Homo-oligomer: A and B are copies of this chain.
Amino acid sequence: MAALALAKHPAPARTPAFATGAPQVRPVPAATDASATLDRVGTTVSYIRGKTIIEEGNPAEHVYKVAAGALRKVRLLPDGRRHITSFLMPGDFFGFAEGACYTHTVEAVADVTLVRYSRRGFDAALEQDPRASRHFLGLVTRALSATQDHLLLLGRKSALERMATFLLAMADRRASKAGAELDLPMNRSDVADYLGLTIETVSRLITRLRSLKIIDTPDAHRILILKRDALQDLSAGQAGAA
């Protein structure tokens, strides 16, 4: 319900590319990676922050690749409890490891630009190009491995360990080159639902890490990692070990 449907009158607004509820569609740019077959059938689309891209249960008609921005893969329990399976960053695909229907809702955490493929075109490309399906086997395998790491985190790690692990993982994925500063596009609620915690606990953990001088927080969405090795220790459970 948080997500509005397509805007009827695309009103002029600040950022031209993200002005409307409806995605901006542009011709696809140039081929960059191995799966060149794909790039011929893709369409570039943009969505504003908060937009729902695909919805759990809907027929899986498209496959997407993230070009810019960040998204969350969400699952809901019938009573409204929410879980975030993963965050999607530039280079990630989504919607391709599905059966007939999507298993997750995917929403834009920040303004995003995506490349969209029709499921049919995508599957045909897999069929044609023998290397492509091996390529995606690799992709899914890596996704599986990351998901298994997350299982261990949710099953056996304390709140502090989860937070430390999360910050390190995010730092690896989106470290702005400028030193150890890390930009978190998602809000506390997203982090909480990703780590199996509550907003309050996430907030308290960040405060704790700040008062331990392990991180600093110029603002709520910016994290400066001061002691990476301390985080590393915390993430695996050895509190004050050398």
Assembled-state Cα–Cα distance A99/B237 (Å) = 25
Interface string of A98-127 (1 = CB under 8 A from B): 110001100000000000000000000010
Q: List A residues 199-242 near B (Cβ within 8 Å).
A: 236-238
Among B75, B85, B155, contact of A196 (Cβ-Cβ < 8 Å): B155
Within 8 Å of chain B (Cβ to Cβ): is A136?
A: yes
Q: Of B77, B79, B126, which is within 8 A of A152 by CB? A: B77
- A145: interface (CB < 8 Å): yes
Is A148 in contact with chain B by the CB < 8 A criterion?
A: yes
Contact between A151 and B83 (Cβ–Cβ < 8 Å)?
Answer: yes
* Interface status of A8 (Cβ within 8 A of chain B): no
Tell me the residues in window 150-180 of chain A with beta carbons closer than 8 Å to chain B beta carbons: 150-152, 154-157
Residue from B144, B150, B236 within 8 A of A77 (CB atoms): B236
Cα of A97 to Cα of B140 in the assembled complex, Å: 9
Decide if B141 touches A82 in the complex (CB within 8 Å).
no
Residues of B within 8 A of A36 (CB): none
Assess the B144–A137 pair: CB atoms within 8 A.
no
Q: List 26 A-B contacts (CB under 8 A).
A: A77-B152, A77-B236, A78-B236, A79-B237, A81-B156, A81-B237, A83-B151, A83-B155, A83-B156, A85-B148, A97-B141, A99-B145, A126-B137, A136-B137, A137-B140, A140-B141, A143-B144, A147-B147, A147-B151, A150-B151, A151-B151, A154-B155, A155-B193, A155-B195, A156-B193, A156-B196
* A residues at B contact (CB < 8 Å): 75, 77-79, 81-83, 85, 97-99, 103-104, 126, 130, 133-134, 136-137, 140-141, 143-145, 147-148, 150-152, 154-157, 193, 195-196, 236-238
